[in-house]
Structure 1
Amino acid sequence: MIFAVGGGRAIDTGKTVSAKLEKPIFTFPTIASNCAPTSAVCVLYNDDHESAGSYRLHAPAVHSFADSSIIAEAPEQYIWAGIGDAISKEVEVSFSAEGRELAYNNTIGVHIVQGANQRVLKNGLAALEAAKAHQESPAIDNILFEILGTTSYTSVLVDHDYNGHFAHSFYYGVTVLPQGERHLHGEIVSYGVLIVLQLAKKYDELKEIRDFMISVGLPTSLKALEIESDEDLKTVLDKAFTLDYIQTLPFEINRQMVEDAIQEVEKLNQ
């Protein structure tokens, strides 16, 4: 058997190796920056930190030993990033599945994640404050249920087509830039959530989530991610549009629409 201990990249590496060697995998997350410990999806990277795509297991880990006291003792930026990653699942899955006749597993996956963001918004700030003090808290427990529980249940149940959308494509695009290495997965994904909500024209939800992001310090501008030139943004979008996440759509979306959505999100910072 294989024990994968650490953060998302270490755990996803262990998960992939376990699949290749056909051995059972047990995960021991020391941080809660994403759903890797309980998800069947493995995000892989090249040595230069650029995204190398993903690998999907037939099943998630046999068991994940997630100790909230260890999570509370970790640097707070990791649960902060986990909050950013968690808010993407309900938004992306709902957008991808909108207006479609879904198979049963996809229907259940979509239903499970509904309401997750309201729970994240309710507990997020208190969880982050407890993490900064390195104190165990019911808020941290509740956030862990969303980061490692709800989002992963959905991820395991739905087909790949419904498991993400442009928020994650945007993240993969940012990994091409040198500054992408300086920002955490969930931190970047959270900005991508705003793009998806703008594309979906869900303006009330966009405002609610954006206000929450401001309250916890998640990025609401390209500048916060050190993307300040048109050339950098072009590089990000070039990579993002190679990802198959954006092929499952409730309506046709082209690059110009995405660029326009980003501009509208940026205008909110004025």
Structure 2
Amino acid sequence: MLKVGLQLFTVREDLERDFEGTIAKIAELGYQGVEFAGFYGRSAEQINELLKKHNLEVVGSHTQYADLVNDAQSLIDYNKAIGNKYIIVPYLSEEQRGNWPEIFANLRKIAEVCNQNGVTLLYHNHDFELTEKIGEHTVLDALYSELPADLIQVELDTAWVQYSGYDAVEYIEKYAGRLPLVHWKDFKRTDEGIQMMELNEGEVDVARIGDAAAKAGVEWIVVEQDNSLQAPMQSIEQSINWVKSYGAKGGLVNV
């Protein structure tokens, strides 16, 4: 059974206004865990107390590439203190991309430090890793070919895979066994590019994604909505309500 978490980037403005109250609401809605994207000045002790109070687990932590290159150890120490075993590189800016051999070498070094400390490094994709190629392979596939599964694992963002023209289910099946986390997202294409949507409101077959993730042995399926047309807290409530209905119809989720 899949555990269902929320990527906190979705409600970043709410967290800025009321960190503790927002976390409480997330738990009340039925999410079982949270994936951090920053800690808003809170100490590890404060994070632990808040998670324990609301019976929430740590899914993982999106941690900036440059910060990991500069000082991986202190970031690892903080994450270990909150019981997090997955540190995830969430994004590479346009300025950081291009020299892929150097990026892969840096990720190898970071992953080795993570492994030495009993945590696991993951990489989270957007679209450019699938639209850019190294030889005959997408950057994403080249990365996972260059670095073995015992060094780096996969957090697959299924919406960006679909948006890039690939089948997210095929990618889930491809990386089964090194895929502990999957981002569960929906979207619509617009004249401007992409508009993220609540689950089952866009063009992604999100039930099919959930089924495939469960079959692949994914540990956490993580709701994320980069942007929304309504208040983010309304969006995450609408999405978790759909998740509950999906589970009621036989979807392999534990909510």
TM-score by length of 2: 0.35
- The structure in which a higher percent of residues are strand is 2
Question: Which is richer in helix?
Answer: 1
Normalising to structure 1: TM-score of the pair? 0.34
